[in-house]
Structure 1
Amino acid sequence: MRKEKSVSAVKRSTDQEVDLFLNKLSHMPKTTRTKGRLIFALDATASRQMTWDHACHIQAMMFEEARNVGGLEIQLVFYRGFRECKASGWVEDTPHLSRLMTSVSCLAGNTQIEKVFKRALKETNEKKVNAMVFVGDAMEEDIDTLGHLAGQLGLHGLPCFMFHEGNDPVVATAFKQFARLSGGAYCPFDEGAAQQLKDLLTAVAVFAAGGRKALVDYSQKNKGTSTRLLSQIPE
């Protein structure tokens, strides 16, 4: 039987991952748009049901923070079931996005990350997208195909922030590569880390809406996961 890690050891490991994530985020180039655009993509297959419910609440708090620094347009993208991958229009109001998310139920199916990446490329070719958040727990596709698409996103200046639920080492390796190739960052989380996920998603949203300076300002006003590193970043 595998020996379980102590709670303190798990916490230290998670804190280190969070620090690395936020350090990467803090060194992203500053955006110049007054209103950011963020794609919020989620795996809505059956294994994600509990996390999907958390996300409906967390995204509302994330959007509130971003709106305070200049506004944010969000497009919700999700996949589930048999070849079903859908995207909303670009929305600015939290209630509308919340209604979109709560109207979706998770269904069993394979991952469709390729469709998500292709959608992001299409959107940013039409009008600049500042960042993409992806939340998922699996990767069942060809890693080279996805890596190529992630690299294209990087060339277009669209960083992917890959949030990984669970501890599958294959998925972790893939998500880390996609984040690196796109110029984004990787961070793991579990279903009990709602506050951590809120802090991290909010940091990404603030970056998309107002750039690095807005992220520094946010960290100085809010105590949480991002404060330690972001408060040290020069304006």
Structure 2
Amino acid sequence: MNDRPKQSEGRLPSETGGTGAEVDAFLRKVAAIRPTAAGGGRGRLIFALDATASRQPTWDGAMQIQAEMFEQAGALGGLDVQLVFYRGFGECKASKWQSEARGLLRAMTAVTCLAGRTQIARVLRHALGETAKKKVNALIFVGDAMEEALDELGHLAGELGLRGLPCFLFHEGRDPVARDAFEQIARLSGGACCRFDPSAPQQLRDLLAAVAVYAAGGRKALADFSERRGGIVRQLTHQVR
């Protein structure tokens, strides 16, 4: 039975209350990562989501956000995205690789959240298997809890780092156990971790779009994207330079 905190138990502060500094730290980490997308090729990104019961309130928002990733990466030669999610009793599934937002949206709308324990290790093992078949440029994970052996997750994250597959983890909520685990996975894989406020979806949308653009086209593409978007993404570009 899940004993994770309820969604309603205390939202994160606004950006003026400290979130801004955390976003800056996340962007600095992204800026330090070497580009992974091959010149002229399509980027490949795994979009992994915790679909257990506590995340139902923000699932619809995630569907809107993923479409934005495709839109921003489309002009860079394209981005192939695979949806991975876990829920319920040992269920962990991956969609086909999708080259447009509509296909991924169909996959997401077929999913409803179900109570269950986290299965982050299965997500990381899946990513290892996928990048062994064909290079995956980045993994995004959005979740609010961690109920697994941290040493195993750390080992898998380290293997992803050796294969040049950085993990970008977005932590919803205040669970300190999840926070620590997500930070360690990010560090060991060569990626970054950032906490987000579900009541401020635009911030998460911009950060996810930035990672997608980065996976599709590297730092130059990210710089071009920031000129159009500004705000948080422009901070990232300044750090890259």
- Shorter chain as normaliser: what TM range? over 0.9
1:165-204 equivalence runs, <5 A:
165-204=172-211
Residue 6 of structure 1, CA deviation? 10
Of 69, 77, 80 in structure 1, the residue corresponding to residue 84 of structure 2 is 77
Of 3, 11, 16 in structure 2, the residue corresponding to residue 11 of structure 1 is 16
C-alpha separation in 2, matches of 1:5 and 1:85: 28
**Residue in structure 1 matched with residue 38 of structure 2 by the alignment:** 32
Of 116, 126, 131 in structure 2, the residue corresponding to residue 119 of structure 1 is 126
C-alpha separation in 2, matches of 1:118 and 1:101: 21
Of 217, 220, 232 in structure 2, the residue corresponding to residue 210 of structure 1 is 217
C-alpha separation in 2, matches of 1:164 and 1:137: 6
C-alpha separation in 1, matches of 2:150 and 2:173: 19
Contact persistence 1:160–1:185 (CA under 8 A): yes
Amino acid at match of 2:109: T
Amino acid at match of 2:210: A
Please report the RMSD computed on the Cα atoms of aligned residues, expressed in angstroms: 1.7
Contact persistence 1:26–1:215 (CA under 8 A): no
**Residue in structure 1 matched with residue 100 of structure 2 by the alignment:** 93
C-alpha separation in 2, matches of 1:102 and 1:213: 33
Is 2:167 the partner of 1:160?
yes
Equivalent residue of 2:76, what SS?
Answer: coil
Residue 203 of structure 1, CA deviation? 0.4
Using structure 2 for the length normalisation, give the TM-score. 0.91
Contact persistence 1:176–1:186 (CA under 8 A): yes
C-alpha separation in 1, matches of 2:25 and 2:206: 14
C-alpha separation in 1, matches of 2:212 and 2:236: 17
C-alpha separation in 2, matches of 1:166 and 1:5: 7
Unaligned runs of 5+ in 1: none
Q: Which moved more, 1:73-82 or 1:214-223?
A: 214-223
Q: Which moved more, 1:38-47 or 1:184-193?
A: 184-193
Equivalent residue of 2:70, what SS?
Answer: helix
Contact persistence 1:27–1:212 (CA under 8 A): no
What is the number of residues matched between the two proteins? 230
Contact persistence 2:118–2:145 (CA under 8 A): yes
Superposed CA deviations along residues 31-67 of structure 1, whole A, max 9, x for unmatched, are 3242100000000000001111100001101210011
C-alpha separation in 1, matches of 2:182 and 2:12: 26
Contact persistence 2:12–2:196 (CA under 8 A): no
Equivalent residue of 1:226, what SS?
Answer: helix
Contact persistence 1:220–1:231 (CA under 8 A): no
Using structure 1 for the length normalisation, give the TM-score. 0.93
Residue 232 of structure 1, CA deviation? 5.0
Sort the Cα spacing of 1:172 and 1:5 in 2 relative to 1 into closer, same or farther, 3 A: closer
Sort the Cα spacing of 1:22 and 1:107 in 2 relative to 1 into closer, same or farther, 3 A: same
**Residue in structure 1 matched with residue 233 of structure 2 by the alignment:** 226
Amino acid at match of 1:29: R
C-alpha separation in 2, matches of 1:141 and 1:92: 32
Equivalent residue of 1:135, what SS?
Answer: strand
Of 139, 142, 162 in structure 2, the residue corresponding to residue 135 of structure 1 is 142
Equivalent residue of 1:174, what SS?
Answer: helix
Equivalent residue of 2:151, what SS?
Answer: helix
Contact persistence 2:121–2:153 (CA under 8 A): yes
Equivalent residue of 1:109, what SS?
Answer: coil
C-alpha separation in 2, matches of 1:5 and 1:191: 8
Contact persistence 2:92–2:119 (CA under 8 A): yes
